[in-house]
Amino acid sequence: MRDNEGLNRIYQSLSFWPKNNCQEQFFFSLLKYAKHKDNPDYIHESVFVSENPIFFEKYLRGSPKVSLKHLFPNLTLLNLDRLKEVLDFYEMRSGNYYFNHVKLDLKEEWYFRILFSDLPALANALNKYSTDEDVIKLLKALAFRFRKLFYCINTIGIEHYFGNLKRDPLDPDAASSALNSLGTANIIDLRGFIDPDNLFILFYHAEYFIALVTGVFDNLALLTIDKFQIKLDKIRVSLSNDSGQEFIERLKAYDPSLVSYINRHRDFISLIYQFRNSVIHGEGLNRIVSPLVPNWSSFVKITPEVNYYLKRLGDDKSEYKIISKWGVFDQNSYLLLDPYYFAKHVLETLKMFTDEYLQKLYSTN
């Protein structure tokens, strides 16, 4: 009884309204499993679903540095939409792949089904040109790149949500030492604070992801010169504003509406080629370890120019407030980009761009 009275006082001290009995009972359940001294029921890794994240962020009155999140240092807070996403990655992490709520026997079958579900114009083109060896070769290459893109985003998503989870509570002294040496320490010295394996896997797939996206652009350009029989050195066949300038000029004579479509998506294409220059010709993505919350520390340092392109593409505040929809985190002196949120929005944009591009390309004989 005394414990319940204490919990009730803590609950009533939270500065949010309205309060109700369901919230109160939920709050009591949380604290039962929260981290405090010698609690055998403490849950180290927790996932909570709430459409009201402020409930977790409000500080407890009388303890200005303690909120509900502090009681669960490895808390993953999700709304219902995000919950489905995390559950999908959790199942894939365990080797279970579902499509339309049906478990598939082969992982490869999932990648084929999602390909044709998300890119119907590609499926139609494969069927329409099944007897044309030159076209089918290019279409199959495009399909294979997208399947690898889906694999990349799944791997990045799994690493984002599960790659840095710690099995044991973090040692405060180790954390302090690691924080002081960020940017100068050997990556192995940071083990226990971050997971070097997670960092390696995450950025390997993030960089390969960029290369695959530019490969999709090249595939579409090659399909275009095949369709209109444009005689041009393949090295100059590109959607890039720089290397593909002659291709775009030649295409105007055959399909000006397709050129207009490409130009309407110039910000998206230019954004990807900004990253490609670093991945292919430079030293890779500008990786940085910058702890945001527990288990979330791997970012890419970006320029204001990249951030400009992201805003042109509709980037804005997200429900998480500290990070934008496309994954930008403004840390005062520099801009950071989360690889998962960025890759997720790039892939969604790329699917829409590709599907409509193929519809336009093959709308006439």
Contact between residue 336 and residue 290 where contact means Cβ atoms under 8 Å apart: yes
End-to-end CA distance of the chain: 79
What pLDDT score was predicted for residue 172? 53
Structure-token pair, residue 268: 């998206």
What pLDDT score was predicted for residue 276? 87
Q: CA 200, CA 210: separation in Å to the nearest integer?
A: 16
Q: CA 195, CA 165: separation in Å to the nearest integer?
A: 8
Structure-token pair, residue 289: 């370890």
Neighbours of 365 (CB within 10 A): 5
Contact between residue 14 and residue 61 where contact means Cβ atoms under 8 Å apart: yes
CA 321 to each of CA 53, 275, 317, 326: distance values in angstroms, whole numbers, following the listed order: 11, 25, 6, 12
Contact between residue 139 and residue 125 where contact means Cβ atoms under 8 Å apart: yes
What pLDDT score was predicted for residue 4? 55
What pLDDT score was predicted for residue 2? 42
Reduced to 3 states (helix: H, G, I; strand: E, B; else coil), residue 161 is: helix
Contact between residue 254 and residue 228 where contact means Cβ atoms under 8 Å apart: yes
CA 208 to each of CA 155, 279, 358: distance values in angstroms, whole numbers, following the listed order: 12, 8, 24
Which amino acid is residue 177, in one-letter code? S
What string of pLDDT tens digits covers the 365 residues of the chain? 345 565 566 666 665 555 666 666 666 676 666 666 566 666 666 666 766 666 566 555 555 556 666 666 666 677 777 788 888 998 999 999 999 989 999 999 999 999 999 999 999 999 999 999 999 999 999 999 999 999 999 999 998 888 765 544 555 555 555 555 554 555 555 555 566 677 788 889 999 999 999 999 999 999 999 999 999 888 889 999 888 899 999 999 999 999 999 999 999 999 999 898 777 666 778 777 766 665 677 888 898 999 999 999 999 988 766 789 999 988 777 898 999 999 999 999 999 999 999 999 998 65
Q: Does the model's pTM come out above 0.85?
A: no
Structure-token pair, residue 358: 């193929």
